[in-house]
Amino acid sequence: MTDRIDVLRLISRQVRWLSAAIVDAANRGRPDDSGVKTGGHQASSASMVDIAVALWFDQLSSRDRISVKPHASPVLHAVNHLLGDLDATYLPTLRAEGGLQSYPSRSKDPDTVDFSTGSVGIGATATVWAAIAHRYLRSHVPEVEPAGRFVALLGDAELDEGAIWEAVADPQVARLGEVLWVVDMNRQSLDRVVPDIAIARLEAMFEAAGWQVLTLKWGRLVSALFEREGGEELRRRLEEMPNEEYQRMLRVAPDDVADRLLAGQDGAAALTRLVLDVPAEQLAAAVRDLGGHDLGLLVDTFAADVDDDRPTVVFAYTVKGRGLPTEGHPQNHSALLSEEQMRTLAHDCGTDLDDPWAPLEPGDAADLCDVRRRVLAREPATAARRCASRATSGTPTASRSPPRPRWAGS
């Protein structure tokens, strides 16, 4: 039996593959004469894969509702596909008429989407207003069932939006323990590496508004190096490095990482000893070991550290384009992988570009998908919802067509 986190890693690899392949199929796979590319966001998706996998494949319950940053819609569809909620025939249809929408859409996408997103910031705040609306309904309509968590997965540039701060600072919101926001801190926006995200200021703003703030900066691999002699110096070097320099370091060959770390560090004897002692591949893995990619750390944090009596924001540090050849590149926002790059990615992910939607081989990862499909199966919306709707609108809703059942198999 494979370790639980190793199984999550296998699923993460498959979600990384599928989300890149969904965008690839929409572009290279659907040539069109207009000369205008279809587009899609492989790097924004790759950044959020591990956070999504930790939630859907370990943490979420069927009562939870989740909002996904607009440019990670391929991740949402890849997850829904693995959970049996989206047929493979839809996977090549991103941005095609009648197909998967550019951004998650409750009304137009064929699979389960809890919140429509697209205008950055708004989708995240919808979780807050949904939590308040649900509390109101529960207090007025006894049949309304308890909610789970209202979760938002945000891009870090969404924190530039005024709508976010209007929601964060609302006095009612500080009591909403069911709200959980996870910020994909890739420190990149549309077309630049954000030079100074002023994370401490953002943390203080959430804290001042009564939120619990959890920051997952480093994963457990590099944290173990921080414990060794010279480790404190390594941490300081990494944390004081400007984001541009950090992201450049991610793009050099493993053999060159030590030189990058030691550049300008003359006389740092303990740091030099540590860096030269760690094998190059391990050092390259360690410098990109950010909290938002450490599946064990993510599931433990979601399971144990999130308070129930106030909203929580998790700042999960990530690399934009994680695992893709565009990893950490300042111009990667809309970059599309070439056929050759897709072939290499397929190989790295244990799959085949010529059979991109092949299901997972029978085994632990496929079994976990089945288990999670059953756990996340939702009851079709029933009388309580219709009753709640009547209570608030004053009009009967029986003549409306019944809401479509969610999760396949439910």
Ligand X SMILES: Cc1ncc(C[n+]2csc(CCOP(=O)(O)OP(=O)(O)O)c2C)c(N)n1
Stretch that binds ligand X, among 16-24, 60-68, 181-189, 207-215 (CB under 6 A): 181-189
3-class DSSP state of 86:
coil
Q: Least Å distance between CB 41 and ligand X? A: 6
Token pair for residue 322?
């994680």
Q: Least Å distance between CB 294 and Mg ion? A: 19
Residue from 58, 111, 158, 294 binding ligand X (CB under 6 A): 158
Please, which residue, 69 or 235, has the CB nearer to ligand X?
Answer: 69
Ramachandran bin of 181, using left for φ above 0, alpha for ψ from -120 to 50, beta for the remaining angles: beta
Residues 205-221 as b/e (b if ≥16 CB within 10 A, e otherwise) read: bbeebebbebbbbbbeb
For residue 32, how far is the Cα from the chain centroid? Answer: 31
Location of structure tokens 């370990």: 58
Stretch that binds ligand X, among 51-59, 151-159, 306-314, 378-386 (CB under 6 A): 151-159
> What residues between 137 and 156 interact with Mg ion by CB under 5 A?
155-156
Residue from 190, 269, 276, 391 binding ligand X (CB under 6 A): 190
Stretch that binds ligand X, among 22-30, 104-112, 156-164, 398-406 (CB under 6 A): 156-164
Q: Least Å distance between CB 353 and ligand X? A: 24
Helices (H), 66-121: 73-82
Q: Least Å distance between CB 188 and Mg ion? A: 5
Stretch that binds ligand X, among 28-36, 65-73, 236-244, 293-301 (CB under 6 A): 65-73
Residue 131: C-alpha distances to residues 126, 154, 313 (Å): 9, 17, 15
Binding to Mg ion by residue 186, rule CB under 5 A? yes
Ordered DSSP codes for 294-346: -HHHHHHIIIII--SSS-EEEEEE--TTTTSTTTT-TT-TT----HHHHHHHH
Q: List residues near ligand X by CB under 6 A.
A: 44, 47, 69-71, 119-120, 155-158, 184, 186, 188-190, 320, 333
